[in-house]
Each structure stands twice: as structure tokens, then as C-alpha cells.
Amino acid sequence: MENIKRILEEAESFVLATHVNPDADGLSSVLAMHLVLKNRGRRSLPLLEERGPSFLDFLHGFGDLVTLEDFRKDSFPVEESVALVFDLSEETRLGEVAPVVKAARERVILDHHARTGEALPGLRMVDPRAPATALLVYRLLRELGWEISAEAAENLYAGLYSDTGGFRFENTREEAFRVAADLVRLGARPAVVGERLLENHPPARFELMRRVLERREILFGGRGVLSYLTLKDFEETGARPAEAEDLATFLRSMRGVEISAMVKELKPGEVGVSLRSRGRIDVAELAASEGGGGHVRAAGFRKRGLAVEEVVSLVRRLILASLEAEDGD
């Protein structure tokens, strides 16, 4: 911790990054730290592979996000900067942002996932027991004694709320409520965050949901469920893959389902898989077997060079094998 504090206190410029297809926890952590750094007079580059998901556009500082397409290397001193990486530990999960992060003079990684792949080099603040990376950012800022503005506090509250499932997942321990209370004291607005995260979906998402339900495949007597979306679906609905975020959780909400999977074609030749479980099956282990990672209840991986149908078949086999193994135990 002391080395991390020293680096943050001494550096003047920072590159901030999170995983591909960012969720509320990863993006809120990036933007909270971005706001804190700006308020301290530091240069900060919050960099994403692609445009941030629209359902998170309420996060403070969202308009400051820079995509790789818009990034000009000569406009920011990457080689002289410290890269702060949030909500991941593996280089592969950075996607095409990885070369920029690796070009920084030092890297600091904040993550609450158990690492399952090749580690991104750098100093680490990793706690798999933490319910959200946003909570680790809060811890770090308190250790540094840096001011947390109302806007930064609301961002961190959004990340904590999201990754605890609205404070209902098993990872929600006493510290999560204490931190949430302090963030509210600092200016976070729970009603605003809850509404924007839960009741802020674009119309296109509902068309995607209709297609997902029409295609759902019930497996192993209703204990598994699988569905998929293609690039054509996104084109026809005008939606982006980010707007299909967490549809695997939606599928898991069916009574009796122990494991669910959502397969999404992200771009030509690249397919993403989101896995969810109720805890009896470790989907992080399943994802790791295919080069991905995550948590016991929520994980994912990507496949390149395979058609959607091939990935659906692969995921079907994974689900069936995991349920058969659970029965065997």
C-alpha cells in the first residue's frame, strides 16, 4: 500500500482504464478517480476501447471518456504517466487498450476478482472478498487522505450498489453498508442511482429481451438456460452490445435455474459469453477454462474466430457438464 500511495502522490499524469464491455463498477471506479485527480490538478485520461454504455451516462465525468478511436498519442504523455487499472487483473481483459496501459511508466491495479489468467504487470491492490472495486477505490482515497467530492462519491456508490446487486448478494458485508453510508454523507443520492441503474433502459433493450426470451433454451430439466444475440439483432434494433448488459442475470431469475448463459456476437469474428449462477456452480472456474474469469456467481469469456452457433454449442456443453458434475457430487 505504501508504494501505491507514494506513486499516486508523486505522479502528475494518469491513464485510467477498465475491462472491455465495462460495467457500472469498472466505469464508476474510473470516473470517480478521474474526478478526484482533476480536482487535485492532475492530468487524467479515462480511456475506453469503445464508447461507454448509454445506461451509465448518468455517471459524473461520463463526457470526459476518451475512446481509442479518438485518442491521439501525441496529445497525452502516456510514457510519463501512471496507469490505474480498475476491476481486472489480466491483460487480456483490457482489449485493445492494453498497449497504451503497458506503455505507461508504472501500473497500479485495483481489483476484487480472483485472478484466473496471466497477470498484468504492476503493483496490486486486490481483495477478492471486497464486494466491488469501487470499495477498493474508496479505501485507497481514504488512505491517501484525498477529498472525495459529492460527484465522485455518487459514482462510487453506483459501483458498490451495482456489484452487490443492490446490497443483496452474499458479498455484501458490514463494510459495504458502512462505506455506502459514508458516500451518502458525502453527497451520493441513492434514489437517483437506483433509478438510473434499474429504470433507465433504452427501448431497444426491450426488443433485445424479446428476442432473448424467444430463443431461450431450457437445459437439464430447467436447471440451466441459454440464449444468444447476433450482430444482426443489434443492427436491426439499433442497440449496442452494451445495452444487452446483464441479460444473463435476467435469465437466471427464472425459478429453478442454477446456471444461465448469454452469448453475444460483439463484432465480426468475436463472441462474448456471460455466465451467471446461484452459487452452487462456480462459473468463474468455467470461464477460466475458456480463458476468461470473474466471480463464483458471475463470470465471462470471449471467443475469437468462431461463429455464434459454435459458441452456443460450446456453452451448452459447459452448462450440461457442470450440472452433471453437480449431480455426481
- Give per-residue pLDDT as tens, 247-258: 999 999 999 999
| 203 pLDDT higher than 70 | yes
Could you tell me which residue, 270 or 329, shows the higher pLDDT? 270
Note the pLDDT tens digit of each residue in 223-235. Answer: 999 999 999 999 9
Closest CA to 153 of 119, 187, 176, 204: 187
200 vs 25, residue with greater confidence: 25
pLDDT beyond 90 at 117:
no
- Taken in order 263, 265, 269, 275, the sign of the CA dihedral is negative
CA distances, 70 to each of 51, 79, 174, 266 (Å):
10, 18, 42, 20
Which range (37-41, 65-69, 149-153, 202-206) has the least confidence?
202-206
- Is residue 116 very low, low, confident or very high in pLDDT (cuts 50, 70, 90)? low
Q: What CA–CA distance (Å, rounded) separates 271 from 314?
A: 12
Q: Between vectors from CA 177 to CA 14 and to CA 184, what angle results, nearest 5°?
A: 65
Joined together, the cell numbers standing for residue 62 give 461520463
Q: Helix or strand or coil: residue 201?
A: coil
Q: Mean pLDDT throughout 144-166?
A: 97
Q: What is the pLDDT of residue 329?
A: 65
Domains and CATH numbers, the chain: 2-198 (3.90.1640.10), 203-328 (3.10.310.30)
User: How far is it, in rounded angstroms, from Cα 205 to Cα 39?
Assistant: 36
Work out the average pLDDT over 57-65: 97
SS (H, E, C) 96-146: HHHHHHHHCCEEEEEECCCCCCCECCCEEEECCCCCCHHHHHHHHHHHHCC
Q: What amino acid occupies position 286?
A: L
- Lookup: cell for 17: 482504464
| Residue 227 CB partners (closer than 8 Å, separation 6+) | 212, 213, 215, 216, 217, 247, 251, 261, 262, 263
